[in-house]
Amino acid sequence: MENGRYKLLIVDDDQQVRELLKLTLERAEDFECSVTVVPDAMSALDILEVDSDYDLIISDHRMSEMTGVELLSKVRQTYPDIKRVLITAYSELDLARAAINEAMVHNYIEKPWNQKELRATILHLLRSGSEENSEDIRLEEGNAYLLEEQKPNETFKISLERMKDIGEGLLITRLHRNKLKQKYDFDEEKIDYRWLTKMSGRGNIDPVDLELTADLIIRYYEQGGKTVLIEGVDALLRDNSFKRFVGFMDNLVDVVGMSEGVLVMNLDPRIVSEKELAVMERKMNTFKL
What tens digit of pLDDT does each residue of 99-118 get?
665 667 888 888 888 888 88
Among residues 197, 199, 181, 179, the alpha carbon closest in space to that of 189 is found at 181
Please list, in sequence order, all residues whose beta carbon lies within 8 angstroms of the beta carbon of residue 196, skipping any fewer than 6 positions away: 172, 173, 174, 204, 205, 207, 231, 232, 235, 236
Domain identity same for 86 and 223? no
Question: Count of CB atoms within 10 A of residue 226's CB?
Answer: 20
Q: Flag residues of the chain having pLDDT under 50.
A: none
Domain identity same for 69 and 151? no
For residue 72, what pLDDT is reported?
92
- Summarised one tens digit per residue, pLDDT across range 80-93 is 889 999 888 755 66
For residue 227, what pLDDT is reported?
94
Strands (E), the chain: 6-11, 33-38, 56-60, 83-89, 107-111, 143-148, 169-173, 191-195, 227-231, 262-267, 285-288
Furthest C-alpha separation in the chain: 64
CA distance 129 to 223: 32
Q: Which domain holds residue 37?
A: 6-127
Collapsing DSSP to helix, strand or coil, 24 comes out as: helix
For residue 99, what pLDDT is reported?
62
CA distance 283 to 280: 5
For residue 124, what pLDDT is reported?
79
Domain identity same for 97 and 142? no
For residue 185, what pLDDT is reported?
79
Domain identity same for 121 and 156? no
Domain identity same for 102 and 76? yes
Q: State the angle between helix axes of 41-50 and 68-78 in degrees (0 to 180), rounded to the nearest 10.
A: 20
CA distance 75 to 81: 9
Of 127, 145, 178, the residue that ends a domain is 127
User: Are 216 and 194 spatial neighbours (Cβ–Cβ below 8 Å)?
Assistant: yes
Residue 1 lies in a domain: no
Residue 143 lies in a domain: yes
Domain at 157, CATH number: 3.40.50.300
Question: Count of CB atoms within 10 A of residue 112's CB?
Answer: 8
- Please give the C-alpha separations between residue 177 and each of 117, 194, 212, in angstroms, as whole numbers: 42, 9, 20
Of 99, 127, 155, the residue that ends a domain is 127
Domain identity same for 283 and 236? yes
For residue 116, what pLDDT is reported?
85
Domain identity same for 149 and 178? yes
User: Are 40 and 11 spatial neighbours (Cβ–Cβ below 8 Å)?
Assistant: yes
- Please give the C-alpha separations between residue 233 and each of 21, 202, 261, 272, in angstroms, as whole numbers: 37, 21, 20, 10
Of 127, 155, 177, the residue that ends a domain is 127
For residue 170, what pLDDT is reported?
95
Number of domains in the chain: 2
